[in-house]
Structure 1
Amino acid sequence: MRILIGADTFGPDVNGAAKFAERLAAGLVARGHEVHVMAPSADSRSGTWTEEHEGATLVMHRLKSWRWYPHPWLRFALPWRIVKNSARVLDEVKPDVVHFQSHFVVGRGLSIEARERHIRVIGTNHTMPENMMQFTLVPKIFHKIFLKAAWSAVRNTFERADAITTPTRRAADFFEQSTGFTGVHAISCGLQVSNYTPNLEPRDEKVVLFVGRIEAEKNLDELLKAFASMDPSIGAKLELVGHGDQVKHLEDLAVSLGIRDRVHLAGRVSEEYLKEQLRRASVFAMPSIAELQSIATMEAMASGLPVVAADAMALPHLVHDGENGYLYQPGNIEEFAQRLTDVLTASDRERERMQKHSLRIVAAHDIDRTIDTFERLYRGETVTDPVTDLAPERESDEAGAGR
């Protein structure tokens, strides 16, 4: 098939939606499809050329973009030119299917013009308007009005799609409740599990790791406060990998909490450094309450890490309390600290049990299953959503497996 993927954020951007779009595009190329990507330019250039992403060569249609300065890195395609640009790219590519990754700008333009040309359209939602409020500059008194308008814009774009997907069942249920749509598919973003090397060995040091955007929606204040309230005799260290507008705030908070010497804000890092930290860490922490899936958490699980995460949105799909880690009630700093302590002080046998559960759960999210499902959607075939929530293993099953 000839497939056109439309995205408002794409590599070199570093976030879940961009990473999913890259991996999907690369996986489709590996299966012999012709893949084009339409996305905002990452700099002042615009035009059509090839780029390497996730080891695959993609035909990129980069649109002239502007920087959205309330956000630390986001660039956006010019809204008043998006319909014309979408028409131009569609007429050049003549795709069999269009798959847009958000409704903001690119998805809106492509869905309008694809419908005009009777091209099949798939829409995937990775965001909630609520997550963007901090970057809109809209006064708090007008937030309800803004959100109502924002959800209306979501509906207007996604109603042009032949099929709608989102990464988890909880996210699909939330999307249906917020828009009135039905039949939204839950299809994991997935990841190439084989690209990660689990480290099941006992740890020489105790490292709590977070990977993701360093922004307010990630609730990293809670992580620092929980870490600070843990018993110092545990000897734990905290590492935050990622970049965002909260870096200075978190540095100052670490100083005020008296833990600055035990907190490392690594910033943007190479893939090699990230994988090294995933193998080195003792536990992965995810305090966000707005995750529609969390690719970073899946990467940690594929590396064999136990996880302590907020009991919110889609994280319980990945973190099965008491199996591969623990959930805590958002805002409960004492519980968060206790759960981190539980993992860091667990016996080697208990820790290995949690690690193996992480590997078992994340195996259901292998990206090959995701691509299989999207190929069927692209062709207009009936789709059964992949099962990614595994039932708990019985103790007798585990004992049998160990014999």
Structure 2
Amino acid sequence: MRVLITGTTYYPAHNGQAIFTTHLAEGLARRGHRVTVAVPALSDLAGESVRNGVTVHFLRAVSLGRWHPDASVPLFAHGALQAIVATTRPEIVHVHDHYPLSRLATRLARRAGVCVVGSNHFVPDNLKPYLPGSRRLGGAYERLLWRWMLDLYNRLDVALAPSATAAEILRVAGLRIPVHAVSCGVDVHRFRPLDGAGRGAWRRRYGLDETRALVLYVGRLDGEKGIDVLMRAVHLLREKRLTLGIVGKGAARMALERLAQELELGDRVKFLGFVPDDDLPALLDSADLFAMPSSAELLSIATLEAMACGKPVLAARARALPELVSDGDNGRLFRPGDAADAARCLKALIDAPERWPQMGAESRRRALGHSLEEMLNRHERIYQSMLKDVPPD
């Protein structure tokens, strides 16, 4: 099949959409499909490149990084994208958001009679913190943002959501087209339990105490992620020998660093910044527990990666996280936004190290059901069903 993928971000960006679209595009190319990607350029270095069998067009764009770290607006993209569509003659156009480039791709696909599928990684919570007056106008913003998204997605043929929770959210919000829950997938071969021999070395490399329980968070440092709740939970567990390692970068870092000072967390919290992809599996393996306190996850690739590494998970009982974490089986779930409940659940995990291997094995078992191979199988079946105009299996 000839597939054109559009969205806001792609490799080398490091966020959920970029990771997923890169896995999807390169996986389809490995299976013999002709895959083209068109995204706004991360900088002024627009152009075309080929990576792992995928032709990637980085279109000239203006970065809105001061407003949102991953936001950009393509400039004069109509002619460039029209030429890409004419040259590649896609059978499937797969958009990954409802922003300008994906809207343009949808219009061009419709004119050419091409099937369009849309993956949704969005809820209004993702954008509200960046909008002026969001606390006062939160409800109005939410309705406006949903209307903006649904205006495009209700004109597509099929929608995909990364979890059953995400699919139901779309239906309730007003999506009228068929929607299928398809996991974003995780590379279970790269993210896997290691023999543990190098754990001490990896902790030393990142300045982490080898004698304490290590709880790791990986993701953007943004308000919606609830990292402040996790830090307050650590503050409440002053008697426990633990370190919270925070991996990632984002707009909230300075505020979180100030909070760490206010709570007098000292070396009980470590801001590790951006960690290279090559280091991440081993760093995850060096941890004892993983934490995802976000209340806005439609799946959470970071949590799946930790689970694939065999880690028990502390997670907020919110959105799709309970689809990944079963309370008492492979981790603990706490009330979102409740630092005291998070502390209670974290204490229960720390106090039972003898259960970590069993919980970690259950995490690994669950992650295997989200393998990249299964994700690619589902996408191929859905694409084929669209071309044949029959429901997918």
Q: Same fold (TM over 0.5)?
A: yes
Report the 3-state secondary structure (helix = DSSP H, G, I; strand = E; otherwise coil) of the residue aligned with 2:127.
helix
Corresponding residue for 1:367? Answer: 372
Q: Cα deviation per residue 1:342-398 (whole Å; 9 max; x = unaligned)?
A: 2122142x21110111011111101111111111111225324xxxxxxxxxxxxxx
2:285 is aligned with 1:279 = yes
Aligned pairs for 1:164-175 within 5 A = 164-175=159-170
CA distance in 2, matches of 1:200, 1:382: 44
Q: Cα deviation per residue 1:221-272 (whole Å; 9 max; x = unaligned)?
A: 100000111143x310110000001111111111111112221111111123
Corresponding residue for 2:119? Answer: 124
**Unmatched 5+ residue regions in structure 1?**
385-403
CA distance in 2, matches of 1:111, 1:84: 14
The match for 2:391 among 382, 395, 398 is: 382
The match for 2:324 among 306, 318, 329 is: 318
CA distance in 2, matches of 1:208, 1:291: 19
Q: Cα deviation per residue 1:273-304 (whole Å; 9 max; x = unaligned)?
A: 22222001111011100000000000000000
One-letter amino acid of the structure 2 residue matched with residue 316 of structure 1: P
Report the 3-state secondary structure (helix = DSSP H, G, I; strand = E; otherwise coil) of the residue aligned with 2:116.
strand
CA distance in 2, matches of 1:193, 1:273: 15
One-letter amino acid of the structure 2 residue matched with residue 220 of structure 1: I
Aligned pairs for 1:154-303 within 5 A = 154-199=149-194, 205-232=212-239, 234-303=240-309
Q: 1:252 to 1:278 in 2, by over 3 A?
A: same
* TM-score of the superposed pair, with normalisation by structure 2: 0.91
One-letter amino acid of the structure 1 residue matched with residue 214 of structure 2: V
One-letter amino acid of the structure 2 residue matched with residue 351 of structure 1: W
Q: Shift in Å at residue 180 of structure 1?
A: 3.6
Report the 3-state secondary structure (helix = DSSP H, G, I; strand = E; otherwise coil) of the residue aligned with 1:271.
coil
CA distance in 1, matches of 2:353, 2:336: 26
Q: Cα deviation per residue 1:99-127 (whole Å; 9 max; x = unaligned)?
A: 11111122111111101100111100001
CA distance in 1, matches of 2:302, 2:232: 21
CA distance in 1, matches of 2:279, 2:68: 22
CA distance in 2, matches of 1:298, 1:124: 18
Q: Shift in Å at residue 144 of structure 1?
A: 3.4
Report the 3-state secondary structure (helix = DSSP H, G, I; strand = E; otherwise coil) of the residue aligned with 1:301.
helix
Contact 1:171–1:292 at 8 Å: present in 2 too? yes
Report the 3-state secondary structure (helix = DSSP H, G, I; strand = E; otherwise coil) of the residue aligned with 1:195.
coil
CA distance in 1, matches of 2:135, 2:83: 39
CA distance in 2, matches of 1:103, 1:72: 16
One-letter amino acid of the structure 2 residue matched with residue 285 of structure 1: A
Contact 2:158–2:177 at 8 Å: present in 1 too? no
Q: Shift in Å at residue 72 of structure 1?
A: 5.1
The match for 2:54 among 49, 55, 58 is: 58
Q: 1:142 to 1:257 in 2, by over 3 A?
A: closer
Contact 1:70–1:136 at 8 Å: present in 2 too? no
Q: Percent identity?
A: 32
Report the 3-state secondary structure (helix = DSSP H, G, I; strand = E; otherwise coil) of the residue aligned with 2:278.
helix
CA distance in 2, matches of 1:236, 1:42: 38
Q: Shift in Å at residue 340 of structure 1?
A: 1.2
CA distance in 1, matches of 2:80, 2:296: 32
Q: Cα deviation per residue 1:67-99 (whole Å; 9 max; x = unaligned)?
A: 1144353242337x4444432321122111111
CA distance in 2, matches of 1:246, 1:321: 29
2:36 is aligned with 1:30 = no
One-letter amino acid of the structure 1 residue matched with residue 275 of structure 2: V
Q: Cα deviation per residue 1:34-83 (whole Å; 9 max; x = unaligned)?
A: 11100000110223232x3xxx232111111111144353242337x444
Corresponding residue for 2:363? Answer: 358
CA distance in 1, matches of 2:142, 2:160: 21
One-letter amino acid of the structure 2 residue matched with residue 60 of structure 1: V
One-letter amino acid of the structure 1 residue matched with residue 90 of structure 2: P
Q: Cα deviation per residue 1:116-164 (whole Å; 9 max; x = unaligned)?
A: 1001111000011232012233564444333323222212211222111
One-letter amino acid of the structure 2 residue matched with residue 229 of structure 1: L
One-letter amino acid of the structure 2 residue matched with residue 7 of structure 1: G
One-letter amino acid of the structure 2 residue matched with residue 213 of structure 1: R
One-letter amino acid of the structure 2 residue matched with residue 214 of structure 1: L
Contact 1:35–1:59 at 8 Å: present in 2 too? yes
Q: Shift in Å at residue 15 of structure 1?
A: 1.1
One-letter amino acid of the structure 1 residue matched with residue 301 of structure 2: I
**Unmatched 5+ residue regions in structure 2?**
200-209
CA distance in 2, matches of 1:297, 1:100: 24
Contact 2:216–2:289 at 8 Å: present in 1 too? yes
Task: Indicate the RMSD between aligned Cα atoms, in angstroms.
Answer: 1.9
Aligned pairs for 1:103-114 within 5 A = 103-114=98-109
CA distance in 1, matches of 2:46, 2:133: 30
User: More deviation in 201-210 or 244-253?
Assistant: 201-210
For these two proteins, the number of residue pairs brought into alignment is: 377
One-letter amino acid of the structure 1 residue matched with residue 83 of structure 2: R
Contact 1:82–1:105 at 8 Å: present in 2 too? no
Report the 3-state secondary structure (helix = DSSP H, G, I; strand = E; otherwise coil) of the residue aligned with 1:45.
coil
